[in-house]
Structure formats: C-alpha cells, structure tokens
Amino acid sequence: MKIFYKISEIKEYLLLQKALGVKIGFIPTMGTLHSGHLSLIRRAKADNLVSVCSIFINPLQFNNKEDLENYPKSLDSDIIKLESVNCDILFSPSEKEMYPEAENTIYDLCGLDKYMEGAFRPGHFNGVVVVVKKMFDIIEPLKAYFGEKDFQQLAIITNFVKKYHIPVEIIPCPTIREDDGLAMSSRNVRLLPAERKAAPLIYKTLYKAREMAPTSSIEKLKKWVINELKKDSLLKLEYFEIVDCESLEPVNNLAGHKKCIACIASYAGNVRLIDNINFL
C-alpha cells in the first residue's frame, strides 16, 4: 500500500494512474477503522482497479471542541487494517495541508441540513461537504463509498454532488453491526464496559419501533421510544425522528409514505451514537 501525506504527491501519482485509464474508488474516513470501513474498501476494490482511503479528522465538522479533542486516533493500527484488505493507497494529510488558510466556504445544502443532526450540530454538514469537496478535487475518483449508518450525511452528499455537478458517483453501503446489533462506529471504542453493554438497546428499540409502525401513530411511536430508552439510565435520547428518505422532512403520518427512515441519536454515557432503520 502506498501512503501519501502531501496533496501534490498524491495528485501527481494519481495523474499517472488516470493516464493509464485506471478507475479510482474513494473511501473518506476519519480513522479508527473498523469492519464497517473495511467493507467499504472491499466494495471499492471490487468496483475499481485502485482503491484510495483517506484518514483525516476534519475539524470543520466538529462544533464541540471537547468532542474533537477526544476523537480516537490510531493511524498505526489503521494502516495494518488497510493492508489486511489490500487497500491500494492511503492519503493522510495534516490539518495544515488541507487548510493552509482559514476555510470559510458556505454551500447551499437545500435545507437537508436543518433536520436531526443539523438541528443539534449547527454547521456540521457544511464542514462535511467542504472536506468532501476538497477530497474529491484531490483524488478525482469515479466512485465514492459512504456507509448508510450516517444516513443524513449520505443524503446530503448525494444531493450535493448533483447540485454542484461533481462528476463522482456516490455508492451507499449497508450499515455493519456488531453481533448484538450495535452499529459499528469509531466512537464505540470510547464506550466504558457498562455503556457498551447498554448501547445495543438503541438498535433494539429502532427495530421494535419498525415492527410497531403498521399499527401505531407517529406520536405513539415517539412516546414509546422515549420511554424505552429511559429504562437504562446510561442512555440519554437526543432525538428520534421518522423522516422522508429524500427530503428528510419529518413524517406526520406513515400512510402514503413509501420511503421513510427512522433516525436516532442517543448518548451512552458521554459518547454520542447515531443509528437508523428503514420504515418501508
């Protein structure tokens, strides 16, 4: 696996690859890789001749300084994991390399950033698309791979590339879960043992809510989810919303909505976890 830390160096190398007609698949990450990330790389390798993974903890998408400071970092072990799935290229730039000057770009996200994560993390999604756009400009991939666990992020990036005519195909990939249902996340390593034991209740609650949906109102489902998570004192619900898969607008009545998704954010101790499940 080739490793690059400088924009100029990876661009020069990839320019040679593109001249040979090589198709590039790209997986942007913030490191502390797990099986979910590795599944994205396997998919990229199956679709393209060259797979490029980036590891960059993007400060622009953190609106909580403590969260940024505590975000796990494990570059050495990440490199070993990437090599285990035969990733072709790692791009791991410094903050100064990515942002040599103050970055103040504001994109129009068509209102998709108003809901759920956007309501609790103002500016988060603009920070996401700023770094994704910069990475796309550097790597110039044919396809880019994103996990469905971050559904709102996936929806925003999919819309973003269409609106701004960015020539990259966005490939959604299924959420990878632990045996007990907990969605894999880099943040999971921060969970204390008791918090890790409590965390699977988040997905179990989502799953049960979907089973209840055909015979329940939205209001009833929301009340039930709130009460269910209150059963464990280590969990603190931030939001539970059932939204339209495309507009991300909250759904008030499941009848007539063919594509809905339930999204949730909850703290387990001090660790913020998100998850979702399709309501079809």
Known catalytic residue at 37: yes
Cα separation, 196 vs 177, whole angstroms: 13
HSE-CB at 262 with a 13 A cutoff on CA atoms is: 23
Catalytic, out of 37, 124, 165, 257: 37
Round to whole Å and give the CA distance between 260 and 278: 6
- Confirm if 265 and 243 have CB atoms less than 8 A apart: no
Q: What angle do CA 188, 117, 166 make, to 5 degrees?
A: 100
User: What are the counts of helices (DSSP H) followed by strands (DSSP E) for the chain?
Assistant: 11, 9
The answer to whether 181 and 204 are in contact (CB under 8 A) is yes
**Residues that are catalytic:** 37
